[in-house]
Structure 1
Amino acid sequence: MPLQSIEPKRLYRQIADQLRALIAKGEFAPGARLPAERDLARELGVSRPSVREALIALEVEGWVEVRTGSGVYVLDRSKRSSAAVEVTEWGPLELIRARRVVEGETAALAAMHGKKRDFDAMRRAVDNMRAQSEQSVMPLEGDRAFHVAIVEASGNAVLVETVQGFWDSRDGPLFTRLGGYFENAVSWRHAITEHDAIVDAIVARDPDAARAAMHAHMDKSHQRYSASWRRAKAA
């Protein structure tokens, strides 16, 4: 009997597979509202962020629709084309937790080893973010430049490529869709203020404060993307 290769599945994909199978079998009919995130998390024995990632994947694939202020509803797929989420795509909320670990240390390293040119690059990036935000433009370019400037100050090429890889994954459909619900002018103002605190700690050459400021930024980012759907902006 031929054997098939075994591929470890990301947790959110395992959850999405279960929900997709139930929908396909008719357990949840088109138009039906799925159970709340907290109820699904309890039944599956997983965290609510993992359930949220699974629901976003199902929405990208056209199985459900998130209606802010109401819930998640099953779509009629009889006349819908199918989309797929790459098996290699990281879950957005899991990605933020990983970034917390790595970028907390890169901020500390930047405080210890950064040079004036690195500090100038960080401040330019934050200024760029602020200018774009004031023009109602999503300041993703400045955001990326900010985090890359920090890791480049560490002087470690492996860390630079790692953080750049984090950012490449942010352009995927899962993070893009999730950001569409929770990124707005207010959330970006908060993020810019958090960036200012990180830069201040790095320029002060205080690695402990820099690490703590980056951890706080990532924790608050995670909270913003984990907020109740009722607080999400209208799509």
Structure 2
Amino acid sequence: MPLQTLEPQRLYRQIAEQLRELIGKGEFGVGARIPAERDLARQLGVSRPSVREALIALEVEGWVEVRTGSGVYVLDRSSRTPAPPNGAAGIEWGPLEIIRARRMVEGETAATAAQYGKRKDVDAMRRAIRMMRELAARNEVPHEGDRAFHLAIVNACDNVVLTETVQGFWESRHGPIFARMIDYFETMESWQVAIGEHELILEAIAARDPAAARSAMHEHMDKFHQRFSASWRRTKAS
């Protein structure tokens, strides 16, 4: 297969573009099964999660269909209105890139909140976790409480640039690729685990321990990344 080894830069877009070109040239015809995720990762020299992001991008764009327990198949686009690929202007950030960026930025906001945050900031974090618990108890996805928690942390830093940066991370979750990743990989069980991770961050901030707060946030983001890198829950691409 004429695939090229990729540099670790904008990986999911590069992968999606190569697959899009191969589909356009007929390398993969309508109804053909795209090679397994693990095989694509090996041929391209990238990680399986990066391939997964690319496949989901192609699914969102209508190039492929992910079928439960079977694989990823090429769709007939002959009667469709061409949609701008994800490489066009206004490109969506890759979900895994966002998580890695959040790890760097929010690790420091957590440490700063532990050092300089006020009681009102800690109280806002407690209310946010309470909201998460209440929503989860009603079997509702606690996105609102999750967002409130992370914004309470960055607000404690009293820096509008940091606040707008973290808000930007949250707005990115509404993009179609991130939303589809959430649909595939987040469950109420994973949210219960995540709430526990938030509680550890809060404990470190309330104890005014910057190093522990940074470490707890890094641990949370690492596990968040792992959840998006785990086996497909509803579908199989390999």
TM-score by length of 1: 0.90
Deviation, structure 1 residue 30: 2.1
1: distance between equivalents of 2:68 and 2:215? Answer: 33
Partner of 1:110: 113
Checking the alignment, whether the CA contact within 8 Å between 1:96 and 1:222 is kept in structure 2 is yes
Structure 2 residue identity aligned to 1:34: I
Give the structure 1 partner of residue 126 of structure 2.
Answer: 123
Query: Could you report, residue by residue, the CA deviation over 1:178-207 in whole angstroms, capped at 9, with x for unpaired residues?
Result: 101011111111111110111011101111
Aligned-pair distance for 1:81? 4.3
Kindly tell me: are residues 175 and 127 of structure 1, through their superposed partners in 2, closer, same or farther at Cα, counting changes over 3 Å? Answer: same
C-alpha root-mean-square deviation of aligned residues, in Å? 1.7
Query: What letter corresponds to residue 210 of structure 1 in structure 2?
Result: A
Cα distance, 1:104 vs structure 2:
0.6
**Which amino acid in structure 2 is aligned with residue 39 of structure 1?**
D
Q: Secondary structure at the match of 1:28?
A: coil
The count of aligned residue pairs is 225
Q: What letter corresponds to residue 92 of structure 2 in structure 1?
A: E
**1:147 is matched with which residue: 127, 146, 150?**
150
Segments of structure 1 that go 5 or more residues without pairing to the other structure are 1-8
Q: CA separation in 1, counterparts of 2:139 and 2:104? A: 31
Aligned to 2:104: 101
Mapped contact 2:69–2:235 kept (Cα < 8 A): no
The percentage of counterpart residues that share the same residue type is: 70
| Alignment TM-score, normalising by the size of structure 2 | 0.89
* 1:188 match: 191
1:175 aligns with 2:178: yes
Contact map agreement 2:201 2:216 (CA 8 A) in 1: yes
Contact 1:61 1:82 in 2 (8 A): no
Following the alignment from structure 2 to structure 1, what is the Cα–Cα distance between the partners of residues 83 and 133?
A: 35
Shift of 1:99: 0.5
Matched, 1:41 2:41: yes
Q: Distance in 2 between matches of 1:199 and 1:54?
A: 35
- 1:130 is displaced (CA, Å) by 1.2
Aligned-pair CA distance for 1:77: 1.9
Residue identity in the other structure for 2:124: A
Map 1:57-68; keep pairs closer than 5 Å: 57-68=57-68
2:98·2:169 contact (CA, 8 Å) conserved in 1? Answer: yes
Q: Which residue of 2 aligns with 1:201?
A: 204
